[in-house]
Amino acid sequence: GRIRNLARGVAQAYYHSREALGFPMLNNQNNKETV
C-alpha cells in the first residue's frame, strides 16, 4: 500500500545517507545485517 511504499522510500533514503557517510552510527559487525 501507499504507506508501505512511503516507509520503504524513507528507509532507502536513510540507508543511502548512512552509506554515503560510511555508517558512522554503526560498527562493522552490524553492516551485514543492515544490508
Q: How confident is the model at residue 23 (pLDDT cuts 50, 70, 90)?
A: low
Q: State how many domains the chain has.
A: 1
Question: Which is higher by pLDDT, 21 or 1?
Answer: 1
pLDDT at residue 16 tops 80: yes
In the three-class reduction of DSSP (H, G, I as helix; E, B as strand; rest coil), residue 29 is classed as helix
Domain that holds residue 19: 2-34
**pTM flag (> 0.85):** no
What does the alpha-carbon distance between residue 12 and residue 35 come to, in Å, rounded to a whole number? 10
In the three-class reduction of DSSP (H, G, I as helix; E, B as strand; rest coil), residue 22 is classed as coil
Task: List the grid coordinates of 31.
Answer: 553492516
